[in-house]
């Protein structure tokens, strides 16, 4: 019986092995020996493989010889190798997955050039934000041949496209039209470019371009954080940079030499510094000239004896020196609030200029993003002053005698004595013309006041015009521009008050013109009141013409 049982058991095992030979194979059961992936760049980009069971359709036999598939992971920017099907009897195989770089079409969608303060840091980040917004799966920043050039590339994997925004920091020696003629879609500018100042700087409209304010900046004096000098006047600054003041003890510091750092000529920031601070004087021969604002701020931050200037956005680890605008007024630090309110005198507007003839849809779309909340937050994050974050109009004046008002953003309702609410749209153009007209100027102490029903200057006003005309004719004021700003009280409608304020300013301008002095006339109407219009005394103070000089 035992022999019969053993014989039957042997027969059963033989039949089972015939049906399931793989369970007791005496050879290697490894389906794969090794899977390699080439090239190494694809591996570093994330290329991988996996072994998966083959999918089967209903009704198919489970005895098919194709049992496994090697799949390769999709990696953006690479063509994925085809899956490899393994058969049951194909074991210990060596498989290689070969990735090939994907072929992408390339297109430059925007060219941007101009002010280096914008081109070096802010605009590349705005370009990155824009490319992500329009669907880029990845964004890369490609350095150019120098620090002033960058290309920001958006990789669109779904459509195998590379869309680029080319950015150049570039001086504009021959005007905005020159860059337009070179074919740039967007020109970057920092300065005061109102149409009323076309006699001082080329009007971008005349050059076939439209101007769009995107933020605010300031040229700031920077020193080492341990420098004890609390503030500097404009006269002290131009004497320091011209070499007339050579030791810190001459301006309230220790008896140690001053080391002056300055930007090379050609940049917008250097031009703005020369125009505002140097008053026509030459830079000291001992001044060390550097190529970039980042380099300048780094050098000053490491040297307790140093002083320099740069855009506020590049101040870095330096201390920004407050300015003594007028002797009897507290110094003004270059804060976001003081820049937005014009209290800090060396501020400048940031502009994007677009060609009127441009048919590039990306240019307008890019501008719309920059002016939106995401773009303006980026402007703020990079050290500039956002249009959406500036404070609204205040009835007070900050240090330096500059009007506190918003450059953009929501304005509070202006309610007149008769209950009329002036719309924001009606006020926006008035504020913009006023703000740009006095940008970079200093308010003088002379103020002309008028009776409620009068637009003509009286004898006292004419005497003050005589005095100020003599002041403007001094040698040190040669080339300076006189600006007259008319203001009104609030009784009556907004438009009529605006017209009355302009007529009063024009009346004073005529008095100066008869004495050989030309003046720029601006009208602010009811904006920026000195005191409440609810009292007679307040209204008398608000009906005025202010004098500014640039």
Whole-angstrom distance, CA of residue 100 vs CA of residue 78: 6
β-strands 442-449, 544-549 pairing = antiparallel
CB 217 within 8 A of CB 117: yes
Which CA distances in Å does 357 have to 164, 320, 369?
22, 41, 21
pTM of structure: 0.59
Chain-centre distance for alpha carbon 430: 25
Same CATH fold assignment for domains 224-336 and 411-549: no
CA 203 to chain CA centroid, nearest Å: 22
> For residues 247 and 264, what is the distance between their CA atoms, to the nearest angstrom?
23
Answer yes or no: are the C-beta atoms of 489 and 542 closer than 8 Å. Answer: yes
What is the SS3 assignment for 470? helix
Domain range annotation of the chain: 31-101, 224-336, 411-549
| Residue bearing tokens 């013309």 | 433
Q: Give the closest residue to 545 by CA, choosing from 506, 505, 500.
A: 505
Cβ atoms of residues 245 and 374 within 8 Å: no
Using CA of residue 124, residue 126, residue 132, residue 135, what is the dihedral sign? negative
Print the SS3 string covering 412-468. CCEECCCCCEECHHHHHHHHHHHHHHCCCCEEEEEEEECCCCCCCCCHHHHHHHHHH
Which pLDDT belongs to residue 92?
64
Class of domain 224-336: alpha beta
pLDDT one digit per residue (tens) for the chain, 550 residues: 566 655 656 665 554 444 444 444 333 445 566 788 999 988 998 989 888 765 666 655 555 455 678 899 988 878 899 998 876 666 667 889 999 988 899 999 999 998 888 998 899 999 999 999 999 999 999 988 887 899 999 999 888 899 999 999 886 644 455 555 678 899 998 875 443 333 334 555 545 677 788 888 999 999 999 999 999 999 999 999 999 999 999 999 999 999 999 999 888 899 889 988 987 889 999 999 998 899 999 999 999 999 999 999 999 999 999 999 777 778 999 999 888 776 788 888 888 988 888 889 999 999 989 988 889 899 999 999 987 644 333 323 333 333 333 333 444 555 444 555 566 666 777 777 787 788 777 777 678 877 766 777 777 777 778 878 888 887 778 888 899 999 988 887 788 888 888 999 999 999 999 999 999 999 888 888 877 777 777 788 788 899 888 8
Distance between CA 487 and CA 449 in Å, rounded?
9
Q: Which residues of 368-399 are buried (b: 16+ CB within 10 A; e: fewer)?
A: ebbbeeebbebbbebbbbbbbbbeebeeebbb
Which listed CATH number (1.10.3720.10, 3.30.1330.60, 3.40.50.300, 3.40.50.720) goes with 411-549?
3.30.1330.60
Q: Would you state the pLDDT for residue 211?
A: 79
Sign (positive/negative) of CA torsion 266, 268, 269, 275?
positive
Task: Indicate the DSSP class of residue 267.
Answer: S
305: number of Cβ within 10 Å:
17
């Amino acid at each position: 019986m035992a022999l019969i049982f053993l014989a039957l058991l042997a027969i059963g095992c033989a039949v089972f092995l015939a049906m399931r030979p793989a369970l007791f194979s005496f050879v290697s059961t490894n389906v794969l020996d090794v899977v390699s992936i080439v090239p190494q760049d694809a591996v570093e980009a994330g290329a991988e493989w996996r072994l998966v069971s083959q999918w089967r359709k209903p009704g198919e036999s489970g005895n098919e010889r194709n049992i496994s598939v090697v799949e390769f992971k999709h990696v953006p920017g690479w063509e994925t190798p085809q899956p490899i099907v393994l058969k049951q009897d194909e074991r210990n195989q060596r498989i290689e997955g070969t990735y090939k770089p994907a072929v992408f079409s390339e297109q430059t969608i925007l060219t941007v050039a101009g002010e280096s303060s914008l081109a070096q840091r802010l605009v590349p980040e705005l370009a990155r934000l824009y490319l992500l917004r329009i669907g880029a799966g990845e964004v890369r920043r490609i350095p150019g041949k120098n620090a002033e050039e960058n290309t920001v590339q958006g990789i669109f994997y779904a459509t195998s496209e590379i869309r680029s925004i080319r950015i150049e920091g570039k001086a504009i020696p021959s005007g905005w039209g020159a860059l337009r003629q070179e074919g740039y879609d967007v020109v970057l500018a920092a300065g005061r470019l109102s149409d009323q100042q076309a006699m001082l700087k080329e009007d971008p409209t005349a050059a076939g371009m439209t101007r769009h304010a995107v933020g605010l900046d300031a040229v700031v004096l920077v020193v080492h954080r341990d420098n004890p000098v609390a503030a500097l006047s404009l006269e002290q600054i131009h004497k320091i940079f011209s070499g007339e003041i050579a030791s810190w003890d001459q301006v309230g510091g220790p008896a140690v030499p001053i080391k002056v750092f300055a930007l090379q000529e050609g940049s917008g920031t250097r031009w703005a510094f020369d125009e505002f601070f140097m008053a026509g004087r030459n830079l000291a021969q001992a001044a060390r000239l550097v190529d970039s604002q980042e380099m300048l701020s780094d050098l000053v931050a490491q040297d307790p004896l140093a002083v320099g200037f740069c855009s506020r956005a590049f101040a870095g680890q330096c201390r920004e020196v407050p300015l003594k605008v007028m002797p009897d007024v507290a110094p003004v630090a270059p804060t976001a609030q003081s820049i937005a309110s014009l209290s800090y005198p060396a501020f400048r507007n940031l502009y994007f200029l677009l060609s009127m003839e441009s048919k590039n849809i990306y240019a307008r779309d890019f501008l719309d993003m920059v002016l939106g909340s995401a773009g303006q937050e980026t402007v703020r994050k990079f050290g500039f002053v956002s249009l959406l974050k500036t404070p609204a109009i205040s009835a007070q004046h900050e240090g330096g005698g500059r009007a506190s008002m918003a450059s953009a953003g929501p304005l509070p309702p202006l309610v007149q004595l008769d209950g009329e609410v002036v719309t924001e749209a009606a006020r926006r153009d008035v504020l913009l013309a006023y703000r740009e007209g006095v940008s970079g100027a200093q308010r003088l102490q002379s103020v002309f006041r008028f009776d409620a029903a009068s637009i003509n200057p009286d004898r006292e006003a004419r005497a003050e015009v005589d005095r100020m005309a003599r002041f403007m004719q001094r040698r040190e004021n040669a080339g300076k521009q006189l600006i007259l700003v008319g203001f009104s009280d609030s009784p009556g409608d907004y438009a009529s008050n605006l017209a009355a304020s302009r007529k009063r300013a024009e009346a004073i301008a005529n008095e100066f013109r008869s004495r050989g002095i030309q003046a720029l006339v601006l009208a602010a109407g009811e904006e920026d009141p000195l005191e409440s219009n609810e009292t007679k005394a307040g209204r008398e103070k608000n009906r005025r013409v202010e004098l500014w000089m640039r």
